[in-house]
Amino acid sequence: MIIINGVLTSDNKLILDEGFIFGRSVFETILIKDKPIFLKEHINRINSGAKALKIKNEISEEYVLKLLNEHDIRNCALKIILSPENTILTTRPITYKKHHYEQGFFLNVSSVIKNETSLLPYLKWTGYIENLLIKEKANEDGFDDAIMLNSKGYITETTIANIFFFKENTIHTPAIDCGLLDGIVRNWIIENYSVIEGHYTLDDLINSQGVFLTNSLMGIIKVSRITGLPIKESGVLKKLVDDYSNLF
C-alpha cells in the first residue's frame, strides 16, 4: 500500500522535486502494532530532519493516526517520507523473525569509513544507498550486517542499527559525535538505564560482556559473532528485552 499526499494510490504518482533530484528528503520507519510505537518521537525527528535540510514541509501525529485509522493499518512497518512537495506513507511486512532473536546477529566490519565531520550521518535522509550496498555485501558474505568505523577508528553503528555493549555490567554506546544516527530505541535505553556514551574501538566490542543492536523495527537483538569471533551474552540483556517488550 502507498499513500501519497494523503491519497491511497496505485499509480505511484509523485511530484518530481529536490527530494528525488538531490536527495533533499527525510524518512522514518515506524513499528505499527495495534498502534504506532514511539510515534511522537518519530514525528519529532522527521520534522527536525526536514528543518535541517531546509524542507518546508512537515507532518503531524494527528495526520498519521488519521490515515492509520482510515486504512486500518496494523502489524507492519510504516515508512514516512517528507520531501519539499511530497508526503508519502508506505507499508511493508516486518521481516525480523524468532530465529533472529534466538541466534543473534553475525556482524563483519565494513571497509567503508564513516565521515563524522559530515552533516549527513546524523540525519535520517533518503540518500541511503551506501548503507544498502554495504549491508548487501555483508549478507552475501554470510553476515547479517556490518559495523562501520569512523575516520578515527571508532565504532559508529551498523548500516541499520545502533550498537551497545556491556563492560563490567555497565552499558556503553558510541557517542553521537562519532558520526551516527540518534536512534529512537537508543534514546529509550539511555533515558531508562545507566548508559555511558563514549569513543570505542572494535576491541571494546570483541572483549565485552555482550553486544546488542537496536532500531525501531528490530527492537533489541543480541550480537553473537563479530568477524567470526564469538561474543559473550550478558545476563542483563534479558531484562532490557523484557522491559522493552512490556512497552507494547
Q: What is the pLDDT of residues 88-147, one digit of tens each?
A: 999 999 999 999 999 999 999 999 999 999 999 999 999 999 999 999 999 999 999 999
Q: Would you state the pLDDT for residue 16?
A: 83
Superfamily of the domain at 98-245? D-amino Acid Aminotransferase, subunit A, domain 2 (3.20.10.10)
Between 247 and 70, the higher pLDDT residue: 70
Q: What is the pLDDT of residues 44-72, one digit of tens each?
A: 999 999 999 999 999 999 999 999 999 99
Tell me the mean pLDDT in the region 156-171.
96
* Proportion of the chain above pLDDT 90, given as a percent: 89
Q: Would you state the pLDDT for residue 137?
A: 97
Residues 6+ apart with CB under 8 A from 7: none
Q: What is the pLDDT of residues 168-214, one digit of tens each?
A: 889 999 999 999 999 999 999 999 999 999 999 999 999 999 999 99
Q: Which CATH number fits domain 2-92: 3.30.379.10, 2.40.10.220, 3.30.470.10, 3.40.50.300?
A: 3.30.470.10
Q: What is the pTM of this model?
A: 0.93
Say whether pLDDT at 36 is over 80: yes
For CATH 3.30.470.10, the residue range(s) in the chain are 2-92
3-state secondary structure the chain: CEEECCEEECCCCCCCCHHHHCCCCEEEEEEECCCECCHHHHHHHHHHHHHHCCCCCCCCHHHHHHHHHHCCCCCEEEEEEECCCCEEEEEECCCCCHHHHHHCEEEEECCCCECCCCCHHHCCECCCHHHHHHHHHHHHCCCCEEEEEECCCCEEEECCCEEEEEECCEEEEECHHHCCCCCHHHHHHHHHCCEEEECCCHHHHHCCCCEEEEECCCEEEEEEEECCEECCCCCHHHHHHHHHHCCC
Tell me the mean pLDDT in the region 223-242.
94
Q: Would you state the pLDDT for residue 12?
A: 62
Q: How many CB atoms lie within 10 A of CB 120?
A: 16
For CATH 3.20.10.10, the residue range(s) in the chain are 98-245
Say whether pLDDT at 87 is over 90: yes
Q: What is the pLDDT of residues 206-218, one digit of tens each?
A: 999 999 999 999 9
Separation CA 150–CA 163 (nearest Å) = 14
Tell me the mean pLDDT in the region 24-35.
96
Q: Would you state the pLDDT for residue 10?
A: 63
Say whether pLDDT at 39 is over 90: yes
Say whether pLDDT at 6 is over 80: no
